[in-house]
Structure 1
Amino acid sequence: MTASDWHRLDARMLAISLTWLVPPLCSTLLILLLTGGDLDLAAGITLGSIGLTFLIVAAVFANRLLSTRFRITDDLVELRTGAVFRRHRAVPRDRIRSVDVTASPLHRALGLRVVRISAGTHVAGDDRQLTLDGVSRDFAERLRRRLARDATAADTTLAVLRRRWLRYAPLTVWGVAGVGFVVGGFARLLDSLRINPAEIGLLRATWHGLTVLPLWAAITVPILSVVLLGALTSLVTFVETWWDYRLEAVGDAILLRRGLFSTRLVWLERRRLRGVQIAEPLPLRLARGGRLNAIATGLGSADDRSTSTKSALLPPASRLEAHRVAAAVLGEEPGFLSGLELARAPRAALRRRVTWALAAVALVEAPLVVLGALLTEVLLHVAWICGLVLVPLALAAAFDAYRSLGSGMTGRYIVTRYGTYARRTVLLDRSGILAWSVDQSASQRRAGLATLVAVVAAGRGGYKIRDVALADGLALVREATPGMVEDFLESASGNHRHPVEEGVSALPDQGRTP
């Protein structure tokens, strides 16, 4: 069978349908363990509904598997799905922008892989993404190499996993959030099965143990337990996600491999790369760490988040390592980002942030003051105590947000930095900028400030340079993209209109290509 023939998904995918049975089985076993095997009628009905849902989903899954066909020709990648409602989709091979190969633990155990072929961005749904869920490992590798056209290219290792990066793993909030999701899901499960938590021995004993502690200990112990469990969860997630991490330059593409139980292989052409962003959430920033993500066509706006694993080029690591890998990915010298200095925002930008911070505190304080005046003086005391805490925190966040603001150019990249809790430094290739938008709110006009938006066909689609002086911002635009805005500004001046009175957009020549 040749590559251009029609192929079916691997028959071993039938076993994957059994995974739909795992959650209800685990839930059932857990409830039986906690209740000693005593289930009432409501619990039995709920479990029966779960079993019926499993059968329906398994039948749909089997039908999708048997009705799916795909083939790869010299010009197209085609996918046919559906038995009753048939659908035929095709992606031109010259429009393919990324090839993503993943494998869940069960896929790996069965020797299967999931191949996602993407040919666009900013498109709702999967109209420009074909997913081949269930091909053999060898076939997936041959397919990736054929589509990536890198079978004979030499590899250059850009980064590999370092043990010292593990210390950055607990410095995220997602582990704590994950603990919250699990606890909330367990509570909803008990509620759906009409089980009173007070009737479960372990929970009753835990609650009784907390009630005999002093008040400060009864509050501190659960918080510390959640934080420690969250840190452990983050560490385990880091190991599973980034195990065997390797970033390579393969010809004119970047190849990323990672994963312990669920493996992932991402291929990204350099010609699709529009820049990178370095994100520094506050806990990581305090430890001089950060994350590195690609800004590239074909990834989509959802993958612009610093927590996106699809656009991530580096796990949480030191800031110096993020700078080194960013330079390597962009094809620049190793010290490309060392000593990077950006122009500071005007003092008016600080005043705006202080105003926002105090307004946010006022929104919190106002209900307490009003209710305190109408109902009880206790709320008035709560209001002034909250004010003592919130005002310094709000002002500190405002000053930090101002210190993070900056913009400038380095080499062929325009740079913008912003954010307080999660500070971002974005480097955009100037040749990939399609348009500029200059926006001014009423308060910005009074302060002589503007927000510039560089429009690119990648990531979120537009990246902001916040609160720059209008003249300085227009000068930066002219320097970054010569000839793009002069004609528009001259035309606007000839019509006696201010070019940024209500926000304008400067479009490039029609001949410019993304």
Structure 2
Amino acid sequence: MSEAKRLHPAAIIFNLITTVRQFLFAIILGFITFRNESLFYFVLILAGLLVIFTVISVVIWYRFTYRIADDELRIEYGVFIRKKRYISKNRIQSIDLTSGVIHRLLNLTKVQIETAGTGTDAEASLSAVKLAEGEALRQELKSRGAEPLVDDDSTDDAAEQRSPSSTIRFKRLFIAGTTSGSIGVIMALAATAFSQVEQFIPERFYESTMQWIIGLSIIIIAVMTILVLLLLWLFGIAGTIIKYGKFTITRNEHELFITRGLLEQKQVTIPLKRIQAVGIQESIIRQPLGYVTVFAEIAGGSMDKGEDFSSILFPIMKRDEVDDFLATFLPDYAGLQQDLTPLPKRARKFYVLRATPPFLLLLVAVGIFIPSFTWIPLILLLAGGLGLGWLRHRDGGFQLEGMRLTIRYRMLSRNTIIMYHKRIQAFEKKQHKLQKLQNLATTSFSIVGTMGAGKHFTIKDLDVTQTDELSDWYSYRR
């Protein structure tokens, strides 16, 4: 791989798509502005811009080359200003392969290389190379020198034992989709899309449709609403299955290797030394069913992984399977503590007070504008506000075990976080006046997260003696 190579010609298409996406808002705005009288001229301008964008994409592709020489990945790019980027093998933290629909049709992949200093974007990205070449490139960049050759059939069995693997079953994947809670996100996206599409619907058609809906009986409207919600729920299940289909996690000597996706196939590498904490999340829907999601907080990296600042180690499993999973893939984090030191009872009122304001605002708004339906937010206030506050207080707690700290807290989902003393970057203790009167305090632990930014975990309203215990534990140095 010492000779300079260009990306696959399909990279021209991806460059063109990226360029058009950057100007998409301006294109939509121009269409809305000139759609009536000057639509013909707008189309001509748009066609001219498309030709220019295509030429630019071809030039960018032609001027981009990459090669491996002297234990470095060397990339040269730039149209008018020639840029050279050298990335040493020793600095590379992870190499991820992503194959979208177009990639898979052409047997291509996208290679993303991340280092310890990676920011919002990957350190280097090869948008389109042959799949075999991408895998060979990853293998070459991961190598740290020649390894002794051993001609022994027993090495295969030994390698298999050193590289345990786990794959999600379709039944579990279906349960993950049905309990994902993504229907709310889909409804928000659908409402946003409808608000934008509404202006393109003919006014006469829109008014007649709304009059028809208003003229329907309450029963028919209720049935239609249920059908729409059912359809959105099915979309949520399909989205989860497409995203996490064929999910497989494998542990190698120094890293975890994850593959997932039916349409867009991703291969993600997580170096073990970059794992700052391991978490177990139990959503308010999955917790009664006994299912959890296992995730990890990774230091550095970029937002290109698309996992919302955390990496999913396994999308769904039974709660009693977590310890075996951790013992197999992350043995340092095994031995999950279930009985944690609880929060003091006198802290419960603070949790209830924090949970009720959104429901009180809803109650006031409904009381002013729709007073006949005031009973709905009132029920939500009692069941939601008071119940959620009680749950947050009941689930909060911590446990110290040598140099390992386990904390548990709840927003909507219950989260259990396991971290080691050496990974914690900062400890903070806070008290407001009401907490001082009740002899309570709030603690916060900070670790290094995605893009090198801090990730904070907070336990509110601990007894002051408990916060002092945590402070002494954190401040201790051998």
| TM bucket, shorter chain | 0.7 to 0.9
Distance across 1 between alignment mates of 2:212 and 2:257: 52
* Residue 27 (structure 2) aligns with: none
Matches within 5 A, 1:74-473: 74-120=70-116, 124-126=119-121, 129-149=123-143, 154-155=159-160, 156-165=163-172, 166-182=174-190, 184-185=192-193, 187-189=195-197, 191=199, 194-196=200-202, 198-199=204-205, 210-211=213-214, 213-218=216-221, 220-299=222-301, 308=308, 311-332=311-332, 336-337=335-336, 340-366=338-364, 383=374, 386-410=377-401, 412-459=403-450, 460-473=454-467
* Residue 152 (structure 2) aligns with: none
- Say whether the 8 Å CA contact 1:171–1:231 is kept in structure 2: no
Change (3 A) 1:327 1:464: farther
Distance across 1 between alignment mates of 2:229 and 2:89: 48
- Say whether the 8 Å CA contact 1:358–1:395 is kept in structure 2: yes
Alpha-carbon deviation of 1:117? 1.1
Q: Deviations over 1:395-435 (max 9, x none)?
A: 01110111121111346531111113122111112222233
Q: Deviations over 1:345-392 (max 9, x none)?
A: 1223311112223444444445666xx5xxxxx766555663344233
Change (3 A) 1:124 1:15: closer
Aligned-pair Cα RMSD in Å? 3.5
TM-score under structure 1 normalisation?
0.76
State the number of aligned residues: 448
Q: Secondary structure at the match of 1:282?
A: coil
Identity score, percent:
20
Change (3 A) 1:360 1:208: closer
- Say whether the 8 Å CA contact 1:97–1:297 is kept in structure 2: no
* Residue 12 (structure 1) aligns with: 10
Gaps (5+ residues) in structure 2?
22-34, 148-157
Q: Deviations over 1:105-130 (max 9, x none)?
A: 10111121111111136x6533x621
Change (3 A) 1:73 1:275: farther
Alpha-carbon deviation of 1:255? 0.7
Q: Deviations over 1:196-242 (max 9, x none)?
A: 16538xx967x676445422441x23432232122211222222222
Deviates more, 1:351-360 or 1:85-94: 85-94
Change (3 A) 1:274 1:363: same
Distance across 1 between alignment mates of 2:253 and 2:467: 37
TM-score under structure 2 normalisation?
0.81
Q: Deviations over 1:309-342 (max 9, x none)?
A: 97111123333344433343322597x22x6211
- Say whether the 8 Å CA contact 1:297–1:457 is kept in structure 2: yes
- Say whether the 8 Å CA contact 1:437–1:453 is kept in structure 2: yes
Change (3 A) 1:468 1:269: same
Change (3 A) 1:452 1:88: farther
Q: Secondary structure at the match of 2:297?
A: strand
Q: Secondary structure at the match of 1:315?
A: strand
Q: Secondary structure at the match of 2:341?
A: coil
Deviates more, 1:145-154 or 1:280-289: 145-154
Distance across 2 between alignment mates of 1:84 and 1:188: 39
1:120 aligned partner, one-letter code? A
* Residue 512 (structure 1) aligns with: none
Change (3 A) 1:54 1:176: farther
- Say whether the 8 Å CA contact 1:16–1:106 is kept in structure 2: no
2:170 aligned partner, one-letter code? R
* Residue 490 (structure 1) aligns with: none
Distance across 2 between alignment mates of 1:434 and 1:96: 23
Distance across 1 between alignment mates of 2:54 and 2:413: 42
Alpha-carbon deviation of 1:288? 1.9
Distance across 1 between alignment mates of 2:427 and 2:219: 55
Q: Secondary structure at the match of 2:229?
A: helix
Change (3 A) 1:73 1:406: farther
Gaps (5+ residues) in structure 1?
24-38, 373-377, 485-514
Change (3 A) 1:313 1:4: same
Deviates more, 1:44-53 or 1:443-452: 44-53
Change (3 A) 1:131 1:475: same
Deviates more, 1:317-326 or 1:145-154: 145-154
2:470 aligned partner, one-letter code? L
Q: Deviations over 1:251-296 (max 9, x none)?
A: 2211111221211101112122222111222122232222221112
Distance across 2 between alignment mates of 1:475 and 1:231: 46
Change (3 A) 1:53 1:229: farther
